[in-house]
Amino acid sequence: MISARLLAVVSATAWTALASLASAQTPAAEVQTPADTYQELFHQVQTRRLFPDGKTFVDAAPKRDPAAILKAYRAQARFTDAELKRFVRANFVVPEAGAMPAPSAARTTLKAHVAALWPHLAREPVKPVAGGSALAMAKPFVVPGGRFREIYYWDSYFTMLGLKLDGRGDLVESMIDDFGGLIDAYGHIPNGARTYYLSRSQPPFFYAMVGLSEATDPALVKARVDLMRREHAFWMDGEKTVAPGKAYRRVVAFPGGAVLNRYYDDRVTPRDESYREDLETAREASLATGRPPAEVFRDLRAGAESGWDFSSRWMADGEHLKTIRTTAIVPVDLNSLMYGLETAISAGCARIADAPCVAEFDGRAKARKAAMDTVLWDASRGAYLDYLWTGGERIDALSAATLYPLFVGAASPDQAKAVAIATRAQLLASGGLRTTTRRTGQQWDTPNGWAPLQWVAVAGLRRYGETALASEISDRWLATVEREYQASGKMLEKYDVEEAKAGGGGEYPLQDGFGWTNGVTRALQEGR
């Protein structure tokens, strides 16, 4: 572990090195984040851990001109921790975690409890403050809860499942419009609506959100198809020029012309919201292998783009975060969602009678499915596996991502049957679907199960007629959620599916709320 004293002592050389990494970004990373704006002040606050959660300061809003705050900080040669905390509170509005209703002794039904939570998670439009990290939101939206105070990309699809069932189609439509506004403003949907998330996206579920809409206005349909095409272009940037065996941003080229996707981030610095933790991981990696910090930072950030932050999926040794190699991997889930996006664009273009677009995206989807069958399908394992493109081999580690091709309809009937057999044998636990088969202490590994993965699995299995397994996963997961709700009165971010209790691991305490658990719970209840 790095001592607080070591991290807090910033030599001119050390700060210059971090600043030089920040200056070597791609154009997509040009928007100022709190680290860019507050520089040494930011470094000191985050490395001294003035706030237990690294997300607290990056979500703070300045009370006056940011340049004046930084100048005032620099005018004082040294701060004790107590003085620095007073300085921060004097100059910033420091946020608190959103409070959920206190659990009552008398438990209502899960359905009623979820319906009662939506007003606590709904937020009004956001007008950013200069020097703050919040991005503009033109319409009302729903947050996950707890420390997650802003809208998040892939969370929102699963949240919308419940909103729609609870008669909140208005929020579904306004959230789709908010995400469309982000694509308009930045060319993609960021991880979440903060400046420090802009250099990365998250699993591309926007097309699935649009699929929940009941809008029929031809102009709106066309506008949303155009937005999906812009998002597709973001993920495929560089596809025309990247050489076989190479990668550029989020695309990886294979011999023969196939192009698949990987997770990536346009910055090579520590994540603002996990700054101290990333410095420590990079230090451990450097001591172990001499690996450059910029590579480690990029892979940590790419792991955050995946939504699986963090998991043995991304680790070279399958155990330790210091071996993270996210950008070296072509993932099953991302490429499945890209197939889903391509088929959705084709269908949308058919609705607006754009024949050339239909032909293009039909062709893209067929090419991607063929590439997935060649690169990601492992007949001997009866599963889709992630692919190490830098090593030219599949990674022999099963995860719940293997069910994504079923979710988007990219599997053949025989492949789906094989995946169902592998899922039952290795991923089905007494309390729901395991995330992976590895126990590492990371939150996206066993024994944890996550609401979005339960939904992807159940929906995918049902799509291929594997209804018995789908029902087992659904029933076991709902029993886990119900058991914890009866015990604590809470809807949690994640659960231990081995023991049907609250989940653990990760970079922050277990969160209550919780948007995607609420949405998936309602959707699974409705599907019984």
Strand, helix or coil for residue 387: strand
Exactly one of 36, 231, 493, 507 is catalytic; name it: 493
* 309 catalytic residue (yes or no): yes
Phi first, then psi: what are they for 378, rounded to 5°?
-115, 100
Task: Identify which of 35, 39, 57 has the alpha carbon closest to the alpha carbon of residue 269.
Answer: 35
| Active-site hit among 231, 273, 309, 496 | 309
Give the whole-angstrom CA distance, residue 119 versus residue 142.
9
In the residue annotation, 277 being an active-site residue is answered as no
Residue 166 to residue 141: CA distance in whole angstroms: 15
Q: For residue 283, what are the CA distances in angstroms to 4, 85, 249?
A: 14, 26, 25
Check if the beta carbon of residue 484 is closer than 8 Å to that of residue 501.
Answer: yes
Residue showing tokens 């190699």: 325
CB 241 within 8 A of CB 249: no
H helix and E strand count, the chain? 20, 17
The tokens of 406 are what?
């079923």
Q: b vs e for 311-328, b when ≥16 Cβ sit within 10 Å of the residue's Cβ? A: bbbbbbebebbbbbbbbb
Q: Which residues pair with 383 in a beta bridge?
A: 378
Cis peptide leading into residue 447 (ω within 30°) = yes
**Phi/psi at 346 (5° precision):** -60, -45
Q: At what angle do helices 515-526 and 153-165 cross, to 10 degrees?
A: 40
One-letter amino acid of 290: G
Q: CA-CA distance, 267 to 129, in Å (whole number)?
A: 23
Residues near 355 by beta carbon (within 8 Å), at least 6 away in sequence = 349
Query: Where does 203-351 have alpha helices with state H?
Result: 206-212, 218-235, 275-289, 293-306, 332-351
- Known catalytic residues are 309, 493
